[in-house]
Amino acid sequence: MRAYEIIKKKRDGGSLDKEEFQFLIRGYLSGEIPDYQMSAFLMAAFLRGLNEEETVSLTDVMLRTGEVLDLTEMDAPRIDKHSTGGVGDKVSIILAPLVAAAGVAVPMISGRGLGHTGGTLDKLESIPGFRTEMSIIDFRHTLWEGGAAIMGQTDDIAPADRRLYALRDVTATVESIPLIASSIMSKKLAEGLNGLVLDVKVGSGAFMKTMEDAEALASVLTNTGNSFGVRTVAVITDMDEPLGRAVGNALEIKECINVLKGRSDNDLLEVTLTLGAWMLYIADWVQRAVDNPGTEVPRITSVDEVALADKRAELEELIETGKALESFVDFVERQGGNPEIIANPGLLPGASQMKQVQVSKSGYIQRVDAEKVGTASMLLGAGRQRLEDGIDHAAGIMLNRKSGAAVQAGDTVAVLHYNDDGNLSEALRLVGEAFEIGPEPPGPRRMIRKVVL
């Protein structure tokens, strides 16, 4: 087998088998196949595509380049939630302790923010003392004790993906549905899961700008997960506008605390409860098979809407009774964070300066463009342009008004939080532009666009 022949086969539209992916990926990791052959292959794969069987093979090969957790010793079903990334998306931070409070184990290996999108690890690290770097042994221990654990990707998990992603990032081969799917799934399938809920974001702030692309990605992701025996459901959710009101790390942690305290009734809660209900639903589905040893867990092909609504109600009750908040306190403490921030969010990093943004005309907010707000937040220091950049945990943007709200010219609609005013004028311009005002109220915003089984 030669790398040249594999590149040529994909270039000419052929399908590769698992042995060919194995040769390519392992050869690349060992240094026998150079970057320039891999990047030619990636461009051929980008333009020619990979079919579902190839995507599963590539995922499998990448998964096996690293450690795969075996958590079968746990009694509770292990269910994770993964988002394809958006602006103001702090759902994982609420969901992990919330779902753990319902008796489901949540082993989450998470990422950092890049460009206009934020990352769960960065948000958590704004909590003083919070550790996201840990060994797999510590991760397992934390999970065992508390039911939820969030850690950063290590070199032990799917190392091929890390190498490939770095190469894709500089060769314009990122935005390929099968390559995105195999990258996500090779990491998620290493978590020793029974089930997985994927939050596929669609809209201006998301990777997938159209429903067509989002549905295609959702379909490849669920098929790949299910073909590995992990019961996988994808929920396509709106990312035309930031999720919730806070964008920026410490600001988002404060919003998470508010949600867990029951002080939220917006889009963020809607997405959180929907995804959480699906996690519990899959956990039950899996548990039924565990309770009947010898039976294989079947793929979910239809939904019991009543059971799903019950799961949502269960999560709402955990919030109302304060059990979710208690679980969050435990979670923060177990990962080394200062639990005092929950009673006293003022202990979180705060910015030295703030600037209000006013709208210049009256009317109804049609939309608050997610990509513009995300980019502005990054420019204020809350995110990074390149992975090696540092970030300012205190910086970010609070949205006072969102789509549907009636505004008068001069109303304050957002507040910028920052310590460094180097890019302030550019950030102000972007946030100003993000607010689209029209004479009529917009149609209702549908947060949950589609569920793909």
**Sole window of 24-32, 40-48, 254-262, 282-290 interacting with its own copies (rule: CB under 8 A):** 40-48
Token digits of residue 161: 């993906």
User: Which listed residue (162, 168, 231, 417) is catalytic?
Assistant: 168
User: Which listed residue (60, 80, 89, 161) is catalytic?
Assistant: 161
Site for its own copies in 43-72 (CB under 8 A): 43-44, 46-48
239, 452 Cβ separation under 8 angstroms: no
281, 310 Cβ separation under 8 angstroms: no
| Nearest residue (CB) to its own copies, 38 versus 430 | 38
Catalytic residue status for 183:
yes
| Nearest residue (CB) to its own copies, 68 versus 387 | 387
Residues with Cβ within 8 Å of 90's Cβ and at least 6 positions away in sequence, in order, are: 118, 120, 123, 243, 244, 246, 252, 253, 255, 256, 268
Closest separation between CB of residue 30 and its own copies, Å? Answer: 17
What ranges in 321-423 are assigned the alpha helix state H? 323-334, 340-343, 370-377
Q: How far apart are the first and last CA of the chain?
A: 37
**Sole window of 104-112, 167-175, 267-275, 345-353 interacting with its own copies (rule: CB under 8 A):** 167-175
Token digits of residue 174: 């990122």
Site for its own copies in 6-35 (CB under 8 A): 7-8, 11, 34-35
**C-alpha distances out from residue 89 to 253, 255, 361, 423, 449, Å:** 11, 11, 29, 23, 16
| Nearest residue (CB) to its own copies, 40 versus 289 | 40
Q: Which of 1, 19, 36, 406 lies at the binding interface for its own copies (CB under 8 A)?
A: 36
x/- mask, its own copies, residues 168-207, rule CB under 8 A, reads --xxxx----------------------------------
Closest separation between CB of residue 335 and its own copies, Å? Answer: 36
User: Which listed residue (57, 110, 126, 183) is catalytic?
Assistant: 183
Kindly tell me the number of DSSP H helices and DSSP E strands found in the chain.
17, 13
183, 66 Cβ separation under 8 angstroms: no
| Nearest residue (CB) to its own copies, 12 versus 75 | 12
Residues with Cβ within 8 Å of 297's Cβ and at least 6 positions away in sequence, in order, are: 194, 229, 231, 285, 286, 289
Closest separation between CB of residue 358 and its own copies, Å? Answer: 35
Q: Which of 29, 74, 136, 167 lies at the binding interface for its own copies (CB under 8 A)?
A: 167
User: Which listed residue (78, 140, 187, 402) is catalytic?
Assistant: 187
| Nearest residue (CB) to its own copies, 172 versus 343 | 172
**Sole window of 1-9, 84-92, 324-332, 362-370 interacting with its own copies (rule: CB under 8 A):** 1-9
Per CB under 8 A, does 39 bind its own copies?
yes
| Nearest residue (CB) to its own copies, 37 versus 375 | 37
Q: Which of 18, 26, 40, 211 lies at the binding interface for its own copies (CB under 8 A)?
A: 40
User: Which helix (DSSP H) or strand (DSSP E) does residue 396 occupy?
Assistant: strand 396-399
Catalytic residue status for 187:
yes
The Cα 25–Cα 163 span in angstroms is 10
Closest separation between CB of residue 161 and its own copies, Å? Answer: 17
Residue 57 CB burial class (10 angstroms; 0-12, 13-18, ≥19): buried
The Cα 45–Cα 39 span in angstroms is 10
The C-alpha angle 437, 119, 370, rounded to 5 degrees, equals: 10
User: Which listed residue (10, 78, 82, 402) is catalytic?
Assistant: 82
| Nearest residue (CB) to its own copies, 42 versus 196 | 42
| Nearest residue (CB) to its own copies, 54 versus 125 | 54
| Residue of 44, 9, 5, 10 whose CA lies nearest to 27 | 5
Closest separation between CB of residue 36 and its own copies, Å? Answer: 4
Closest separation between CB of residue 171 and its own copies, Å? Answer: 4
| Nearest residue (CB) to its own copies, 8 versus 299 | 8
| Residue of 243, 256, 273 whose CA lies nearest to 126 | 256
Closest separation between CB of residue 153 and its own copies, Å? Answer: 22
Under rule CB under 8 A, how many of the chain's residues touch its own copies?
22
At residue 384, the 3 state secondary structure works out as coil
**Quick one: CA torsion of 259, 265, 267, 270, rounded to 10 degrees?**
80
The Cα 324–Cα 122 span in angstroms is 22
The Cα 43–Cα 32 span in angstroms is 19
Closest separation between CB of residue 29 and its own copies, Å? Answer: 15
Closest separation between CB of residue 389 and its own copies, Å? Answer: 17
Residue numbers annotated as active site = 82, 161, 168, 183, 187
Residues forming contacts to its own copies in the complex (CB under 8 A) are 4, 7-8, 11, 34-40, 42-44, 46-48, 167, 170-173
